[in-house]
Structure 1
Amino acid sequence: MKKILIALCLSSFFFGYSQEKEFTSIEKNELKANVFLFVLSPIEITYERILNEDSGIGASVYFMKKGDADINFSLSPYYRAYFGKKRAAGFFVEGFGMLNSGNTGYHSIYDPIRDDYIYTKKDNFTDVALGFSLGAKWVHKKKFIFEISGGIGRNLLNSDSPDVIGRGGINLGYRFN
């Protein structure tokens, strides 16, 4: 009887231990804000979905008060390939598209008869651009993100829009489930 009781106690210990599993969740979502641009007054917010160990897709929304810059609004979906040792971190290459709109500002023409400049306001524009970016992302153990990136693209459709557009900044964010 004593042996049966010892065997029963040991087996219940093993069964109880085997059922206790540590659940580790994999964070697949990131929310980031461009703090570099925030200092200059525009706002850019980015959401990224981690697809696997070395890639992710996302979108950025940028907006600024009208009249302060050439581009007042942009929506930029992107795909990233990561080359770091950690999950979706390290050096990355990004291909992006951008729907952007804004105004071309003022254009001055010198009038020799009046001996003065004539200022004309140009039209608003909406355009689509394609481009690429390079950057690096660091992820802290507590899921905080620091990211630096920079890229360039080209507007494709509208002759009134800027030919070349830029994308990038310094982002701070958080990775979550």
Structure 2
Amino acid sequence: MKKLFVLLCISIFTLGYSQDDKLTDFKRNEIKGNALFLVLGAVEVTYERLPNENSGLGVSLFFVSEEDFDTSFSLTPFYRAYFGKKPAAGFFVEGFSMINTGKNGSYSYYDYNTNTSYNVEGEKYTDFALGFGLGSKWVHKRGFVFEINAGIGRNLFSNNSPEVVGRGGITLGYRF
């Protein structure tokens, strides 16, 4: 009787211990380009690695040669937490850091009294920012990615840099 009881307990324990652990296999790398910045004359390219279904680690590289932007270069590593039903898709919250360089305070003006145009050069800066963002990502079954995001951060060290930095765009890419 004692052996039967022990066998019954072990059987119940092994049945109760079994787990429904579904391992979904999905593509874990993404390369994306910011279509909004491309229209505005800048380039932003992003690589994101997806370690699991609910998070992503990535880096964005932004550069522009036009003088309409205060920031001419930025390198932005980020972490994202996803809340969608599909792997690494849907609504996300992002934390980011940013190394950015540029010229602050550049402007042009026209003096109507002397009929002369003047360009005033701003001061160059390099700074480090921390910030957060929100967005949403849609992934097609063939791997195409569409994303909308926006974020805000604060530069921490330089007095010449803008106090607030922005991050965002309309991004198209591919998951592989």
Structure 1 length as normaliser, TM-score?
0.77
Structure 1 counterpart of 2:123? 123
Which amino acid in 1 is paired with 2:47? Y
- State the identity %: 58
Structure 1 residue 69: Cα displacement: 1.1
After superposition, where does 1:152-167 map in structure 2 within 5 Å? Answer: 152-167=152-167
Q: What is the rounded CA distance, in whole Å, between the counterparts of 1:119 and 1:147 in structure 2? A: 37
Aligned-partner SS, 1:148: strand
User: Looking at CA atoms only, which structure, 1 or 2, has the larger radius of gyration?
Assistant: 1
For the Cα contact (< 8 Å) 2:26–2:87, is it kept in 1?
no
Structure 2 counterpart of 1:136? 136
For the Cα contact (< 8 Å) 2:41–2:66, is it kept in 1?
no
Q: What is the rounded CA distance, in whole Å, between the counterparts of 1:119 and 1:159 in structure 2? A: 22
Structure 2 counterpart of 1:38? 38
Which amino acid in 1 is paired with 2:72? N
Q: Does 1:51 align with 2:51?
A: yes
CA displacement, residues 25-63 of structure 1 (integer Å, 9 cap, x when unaligned): 631100000001100100000000001010010000000
Structure 2 length as normaliser, TM-score?
0.78
Which amino acid in 2 is paired with 1:160? N
Aligned-partner SS, 2:36: helix
Structure 1 residue 121: Cα displacement: 2.7
Structure 1 residue ranges, 4+ long, deviating more than 6 angstroms after superposition: none
For the Cα contact (< 8 Å) 1:67–1:105, is it kept in 2?
no
For the Cα contact (< 8 Å) 1:78–1:95, is it kept in 2?
yes
For the Cα contact (< 8 Å) 2:83–2:91, is it kept in 1?
yes
Q: What is the rounded CA distance, in whole Å, between the counterparts of 2:76 and 2:106 in structure 1? A: 26
Q: What is the rounded CA distance, in whole Å, between the counterparts of 1:138 and 1:119 in structure 2? A: 44
Which amino acid in 2 is paired with 1:77? P
For the Cα contact (< 8 Å) 1:106–1:120, is it kept in 2?
yes
Structure 2 counterpart of 1:96? 96
Q: What is the rounded CA distance, in whole Å, between the counterparts of 2:149 and 2:34 in structure 1? A: 10
Give the root-mean-square deviation of aligned CA atoms.
2.2
Which amino acid in 1 is paired with 2:32? K
- Number of matched residues? 148
Aligned-partner SS, 1:48: strand
Structure 2 counterpart of 1:149? 149
Aligned-partner SS, 1:36: helix
Query: Which segment drifts farther, 126-135 or 66-75?
Result: 66-75
Structure 1 residue 104: Cα displacement: 1.1
